[in-house]
C-alpha cells in the first residue's frame, strides 16, 4: 500500500488521514468531520483496501454516498489501486445504468461495493444479489446529505443484513440531529473534528456589490475583469442555472452546463469534460457543491445564496483544496444583504468590493447602506426658521386655488432675502481684502 501511494503521488497525509487511517486499520468505528477538500475519501479507501483479503472473492466493504456523481468519483479513486492490487475487485451501483446491467457480469463478486442508498437496497436487500456475511466495514460518506435527502431508511435496511460491522461516518458537518439519527444504529469509538469546521482556511471570501445590474451583465463584466483559471458559477435554482448558462453563451463565453436537468448520459459526458479540463468556466447547480473533487478550481462565484446556507460552505469548498489558495465570490445588492449578514454572523470573514462598469473596486462601506452625499448646502438655522414661518403665514385655512404658488412665493421671498445678504457679505469681504492689500502697499513698514 505504501508503495502504491508513493507511485500515485500521495506522500504526505492530510490531518484527517493522519487521525483516521491508524484507527480504521485497527477496525475502530468512528465519526469524522472535516472540511471539503481535506482528503476524506482516501482516509477510508486506504485502510479498507489494505485490509481486504484479496484471495476472498466476497463483498468485504460497502461505501454509501448520496449522489451518483460522488459514487462514481469514489469508484474512480478506488479503481486507481487496481494497478497495484490486481486481485482487488470493486463495483459501482448507481441509478445511471439499468438494474439488469448492475446484475450482469457477477461471476466474480466484488470485494468492495460503492453505491447510492436506493440502488444498494434494491440489489442487496430486495434482490439479495450477494451474501453479505463477509462484510466487515461500511462507510457513510457525506452523511449529513444522506440524512437531508431522507436516505436513512434505505441505509438501515442494508445495516440489518450486516453483523456488527466497523462503521465509518464522514461528513462536512456533524450537527446534533445527524448524531441523534446515527446513534440509532451506528456506534462510534472515535471522533475526529477538523479545526476548520466549515471551509478550508486557504479560501478567501469576497462579497461583490453588483448594484442592480442584471446577473448576466454583472457576471460577464466580472469574468472579463477577473480572468479566472477555472471557475464554478453556482445558482440556487435549476432555472437560474440555465438562464446564466444561456446568457454567458450569448456573450461568447465558452461554458459548460451542469444541473439535475441533464439526463444520465449528458451528466456523464459533462463530468468527463470537467475531468479532462476542457472548460475553464462551469455553470452549475448545488449538485456539484458536495464532495466532488474538481482539481485546480481557482474561483467560485455564487450569483445568489442558497436557502440552506450550509451549501455555501460546500460551494466555497470546491476551491482552496489540499492546501491551495482559492477565492469565493458572492454577488449581492442592497436588497439581498440578509443572507450575507447571516454568514458574517456565523464567522465567515468577507472583504468587500463594488462592481463599477468594467472595474472591481474595494468597498470600505460593505453591507452598510450606501447613502449619496447631498450636494445641497445646509441652510442657516435662522433662514430655516423664517421659511417655516413663511409657510405657516401663507397657509390658508381653506384650500383655495393657487395656494401652492402663494406659499412658494413666500418661501422664495425669504430665500431671496438671504441670497442678497450672502452677496452683500461676499462683496464686503472682497472690498476689505482689496483695501488691506492697498494699505500694505502704501505702508510696507506696517507689516
Query: CA–CA distance from 111 to each of 57, 58, 188 (Å)?
Result: 6, 5, 24
* CB-based contact 228:351 (threshold 8 Å): no
| One pLDDT digit (tens) per residue for the chain, 447 residues | 999 999 998 888 988 999 999 999 999 999 998 766 678 899 999 999 999 999 999 999 999 999 888 899 999 999 999 999 999 999 999 886 544 455 545 567 899 999 999 999 999 999 999 999 999 999 999 898 898 888 999 999 999 999 899 999 998 777 788 888 888 777 778 888 765 555 667 889 999 999 888 899 999 999 999 999 999 999 999 999 999 999 999 999 999 999 888 887 888 888 889 888 899 999 999 888 876 778 889 999 999 999 888 889 889 988 887 667 899 999 999 889 999 999 999 889 999 999 988 899 998 878 876 655 445 556 667 767 776 777 666 666 555 566 667 777 777 887 788 777 777 777 777 777 777 777 766 665 554
Q: Give dist(CA 78, CA 42) in Å, integer.
A: 9
Query: CA–CA distance from 425 to each of 289, 386, 411, 428, 431 (Å)?
Result: 69, 19, 21, 5, 10
| Residues in the chain, total | 447
pTM value is 0.66
Q: Give dist(CA 330, CA 344) in Å, integer.
A: 12
SS3 category, 190: strand
Pairing of strands 166-171, 231-234: unpaired
> Which residues lie below 8 Å from residue 92, measured CB to CB, with a gap of 6+?
71, 72, 75, 114, 115
Query: CA–CA distance from 290 to each of 101, 284, 287 (Å)?
Result: 27, 12, 7
Q: What is the DSSP string of 247-295?
A: HHHHTT---EEESTTS-HHHHHHHHHHHHTT--SEEEE-GGGSSS---T
The CATH fold of domain 203-362: Rossmann fold (3.40.50)
CATH class belonging to 2-193: alpha beta
SS3 category, 8: coil
SS3 category, 396: coil
Exposed, middle or buried, 347 (CB in 10 Å: 0-12/13-18/19+)? exposed
Amino acid at each position: 500500500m505504501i508503495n502504491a501511494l508513493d507511485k500515485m503521488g500521495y506522500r504526505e497525509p492530510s490531518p484527517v488521514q493522519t487521525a483516521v487511517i491508524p484507527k480504521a486499520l485497527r477496525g475502530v468505528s468512528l465519526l469524522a468531520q472535516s472540511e471539503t477538500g481535506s482528503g476524506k475519501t482516501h482516509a477510508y479507501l486506504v485502510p479498507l483496501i489494505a485490509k481486504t483479503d484479496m484471495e476472498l472473492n466476497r463483498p468485504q466493504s460497502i461505501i454509501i454516498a448520496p449522489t451518483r456523481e460522488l459514487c462514481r468519483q469514489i469508484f474512480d479513486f478506488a479503481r486507481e489501486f487496481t494497478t497495484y492490487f490486481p486481485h482487488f475487485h470493486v463495483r459501482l451501483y448507481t441509478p445511471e445504468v439499468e438494474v439488469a446491467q448492475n446484475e450482469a457480469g457477477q461471476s466474480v463478486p466484488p470485494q468492495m461495493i460503492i453505491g447510492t442508498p436506493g440502488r444498494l437496497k434494491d440489489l442487496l436487500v430486495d434482490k439479495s444479489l450477494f451474501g453479505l456475511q463477509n462484510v466487515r466495514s461500511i462507510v457513510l460518506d457525506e452523511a449529513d446529505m444522506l440524512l437531508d435527502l431522507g436516505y436513512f431508511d434505505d441505509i438501515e435496511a442494508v445495516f440489518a443484513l450486516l453483523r456488527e460491522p466497523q462503521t465509518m461516518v464522514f461528513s462536512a458537518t456533524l450537527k446534533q440531529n445527524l448524531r441523534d439519527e446515527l446513534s440509532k444504529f451506528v456506534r462510534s469509538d472515535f471522533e475526529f473534528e477538523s479545526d476548520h469546521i466549515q471551509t478550508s482556511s486557504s479560501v478567501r471570501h469576497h462579497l461583490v456589490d453588483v448594484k442592480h445590474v442584471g446577473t448576466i451583465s454583472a457576471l460577464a463584466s466580472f469574468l472579463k475583469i477577473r480572468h479566472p483559471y477555472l471557475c464554478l458559477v453556482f445558482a440556487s435554482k435549476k432555472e437560474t442555472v440555465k438562464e446564466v448558462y444561456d446568457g454567458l453563451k450569448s456573450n461568447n463565453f465558452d461554458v459548460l452546463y451542469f444541473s439535475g436537468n441533464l439526463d444520465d448520459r449528458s451528466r456523464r459526458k459533462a463530468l468527463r469534460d470537467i475531468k479532462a479540463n476542457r472548460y475553464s468556466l462551469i455553470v452549475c447547480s448545488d449538485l456539484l457543491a458536495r464532495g466532488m473533487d474538481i482539481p485546480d478550481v481557482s474561483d467560485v462565484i455564487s450569483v445568489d445564496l442558497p436557502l440552506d446556507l450550509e451549501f455555501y460552505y460546500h460551494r466555497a469548498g470546491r476551491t482552496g483544496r489540499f492546501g491551495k489558495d482559492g477565492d469565493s465570490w458572492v454577488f449581492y445588492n442592497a436588497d439581498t444583504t440578509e443572507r450575507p449578514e447571516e454568514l458574517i454572523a456565523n464567522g465567515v470573514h468577507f472583504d468587500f468590493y463594488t462592481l463599477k462598469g468594467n472595474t472591481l473596486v474595494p468597498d470600505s462601506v460593505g453591507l452598510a447602506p450606501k447613502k449619496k452625499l447631498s450636494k445641497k448646502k445646509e441652510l442657516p438655522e435662522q433662514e430655516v426658521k423664517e421659511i417655516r414661518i413663511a409657510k405657516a403665514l401663507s397657509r390658508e385655512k381653506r384650500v383655495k386655488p393657487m395656494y401652492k404658488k402663494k406659499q412658494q412665493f413666500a418661501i422664495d421671498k425669504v430665500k431671496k432675502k438671504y441670497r442678497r445678504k450672502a452677496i452683500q457679505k461676499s462683496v464686503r469681504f472682497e472690498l476689505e481684502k482689496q483695501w488691506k492689500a492697498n494699505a500694505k502697499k502704501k505702508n510696507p513698514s506696517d507689516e
